[in-house]
Amino acid sequence: MKPLKIKKPKFFQFPFKKKTEPLPKSALPKIRSKQLPGTESGKLAAELKRFECPQITYQGGIFPVFLKKGYACNLFDVDGNRYLDLSSAFAVTNIGHSHPAVLKALKDQAANMMHGFGDVHPNEVKVALAKKLAEITPGNLSQTIFSSTGFEAVESALKTAMMHTKKPGVISFTGAYHGLGYGTLSVTHREDFKKPFLKQMGNFSYIAPYPDVRQYESKASQVSMKAVQSLYKKAKKSRTPVGAVLLEPIQGRGGIISAPGDFLKALRAFCDEEKILLIADEVLTGFGRTGSLFAVDKTGIIPDILCLGKGMANGFPISACIASMRVMYSWGVSTGDAIHTSTFLGNPLGCAVALAVIREIEEKKLVDRSRQMGELFRKELWKLKEKHSVIVDIRGSGLMIGMELPSAEKARNFIAQAIQSGLILLPSGPGHNVISITPPFIISEKEILYSVSQFDKILSKI
């Protein structure tokens, strides 16, 4: 009897085309509406107000416009207006909206299986993604806990640190944003987010000053490191000794602030000395956003745990917490009822798209492009700073750029005028006064120069 021939599932064939296709092209903005929001956006806003919790979507002034579709660097609203997305929709669509490789991955995988069995009967494509992440992440990070959102990846890291060190305390930093779940909320430095829920929250975090060179100048690393050491020493005598330090190598929502390389190296050495874990939250910075595949690559440090999300699948909700085998095995082997899991853990569609995105980044050398386009953007913005004294600072790395203005009011005014010019931007920073510029990596030189020319006009008005 001849052996049964089993055809390989299609999801091992996509989206790896041998032929390298050109980058998707976008168009410059075009606003058709006499005013924003347009008529159709206004109707939808009224309807949404009836059916959505009022805390979720801000409605006021020109916000919100309701989006209908996206392609490359463009977003289109329900009134037919075309925008240039300089935010990548929260730094997610790194390779552009509705990228052909992403659409193909979704279609091919959906034809095979859309939903897996989480922690019970894994799907093949989850194995492929876990293996790929082990290959591209730094050092010996090799074992993954998958989840759906960035905050879940950080919560997985917090739990992993507790399992490994048996110490509940975590040091995080001023300006930190790690998500709004109860675990991540504890280590997020935003009192306005925490205040309504303080009676339900755990108390296991310690906040050290982030090594902000604007505030502490040449002593930034020293000030922050001393604070970490002091908090660690103090916590030793408490009921919540520190088992981990959690930081963003470059703070995103905190205002596009980079930790100095010497600080990261000193922090790594400190964690090694005290036998505690260093967790890098790269939910926003991962996969090329900062001009290197991961922000930690710039200094060569290897965290004990790495958290990824956002641009990992270019819009499909999937995230990952990655650690070494030594750290992950602290969980112990499953006895049949995992103590940390979720229904959509390692979702086949998310894993398929993530593989497609990583492939696209590698084939098109989009990490290099992020660095090059970021250098061009910052160079042109520095020219604007010489012309407009209202700009306080230009900073960032790769296509993660912050343009600081004197106040939240001016930043709001700038963003409102920008959207009327067809440019979508978001604010950041504790004072909401930093314009966050995080466009897709495929943005062209023409689109950058156009954006800067519009910035010039807006800055002349505010």
Q: Beta-carbon neighbour count of residue 237 at 10 Å?
A: 7
Coil, strand or helix at 397 = strand
E strand segments, 219-332? 242-247, 250-251, 257-258, 277-281, 305-308, 319-323
- The pLDDT assigned to 43 comes to 98
pTM: 0.94
Longest dimension (CA), the chain: 83
Contacts of 140 (CB under 8 A, 6+ apart): 302, 324, 325
Any idea how long the chain is? 462
Domain ranges, ordered by start, for the chain: 29-98+365-461, 101-363
What is the C-alpha to C-alpha distance for residues 84 and 76, in angstroms, rounded to an integer?
9
pLDDT-derived band at 15, boundaries 50, 70, 90: very low
Q: Is the pLDDT of residue 18 over 50?
A: no
What is the C-alpha to C-alpha distance for residues 113 and 121, in angstroms, rounded to an integer?
13
pLDDT-derived band at 378, boundaries 50, 70, 90: very high
- Enter the DSSP assignment of 434: E
- Yes or no: say if 395 and 401 are a contact pair by the CB < 8 Å rule: yes
Average pLDDT over residues 247-258: 98
What is the C-alpha to C-alpha distance for residues 332 and 324, in angstroms, rounded to an integer?
14
- Enter the DSSP assignment of 209: -
- Yes or no: say if 280 and 251 are a contact pair by the CB < 8 Å rule: no
If you write DSSP's letter for every residue of 356-397 in order, what string do you get? HHHHHHHHTTHHHHHHHHHHHHHHHHHHHHHH-TT--EEEEE
In 3D, which of 163, 124, 53, 90 has the Cα closest to residue 424? 90
Alpha helix ranges (H) inside 329-365: 348-363
CATH of domain 29-98+365-461: 3.90.1150.10
If you write DSSP's letter for every residue of 47-66 in order, what string do you get? HHHHHS-TTTS--BTTBPPP
Omega of the bond prior to 427 within 30 degrees of 0, cis?
no
77, β-bridge pairs: 67
The string of pLDDT tens digits covering residues 113-167 is 999 988 899 999 999 999 999 999 999 999 999 999 999 999 999 999 999 999 9
Q: Which residue type occupies 135?
A: E
- Yes or no: say if 391 and 405 are a contact pair by the CB < 8 Å rule: yes
What is the pLDDT of the chain when averaged over all its residues? 95
User: What b/e sequence results for 318-341 when a residue is b if at least 16 CB atoms lie within 10 Å of its CB, and e otherwise?
Assistant: bbbbbbbeebbeebeeeeeeeebb
If you write DSSP's letter for every residue of 159-179 in order, what string do you get? HHHHHHH---EEEEETT----
Q: Is the pLDDT of residue 308 over 70?
A: yes
Measured CA to CA in angstroms, residue 427 lies from 150, 415, 432 at distances of: 19, 8, 6
Q: Which helix (H) or strand (E) holds 234?
A: helix 220-236
Quick one: fold of 101-363?
Aspartate Aminotransferase; domain 2 (3.40.640)
Place of tokens 């091992």: 12
The string of pLDDT tens digits covering residues 37-64 is 999 999 999 999 999 999 999 999 999 9
- The pLDDT assigned to 19 comes to 57
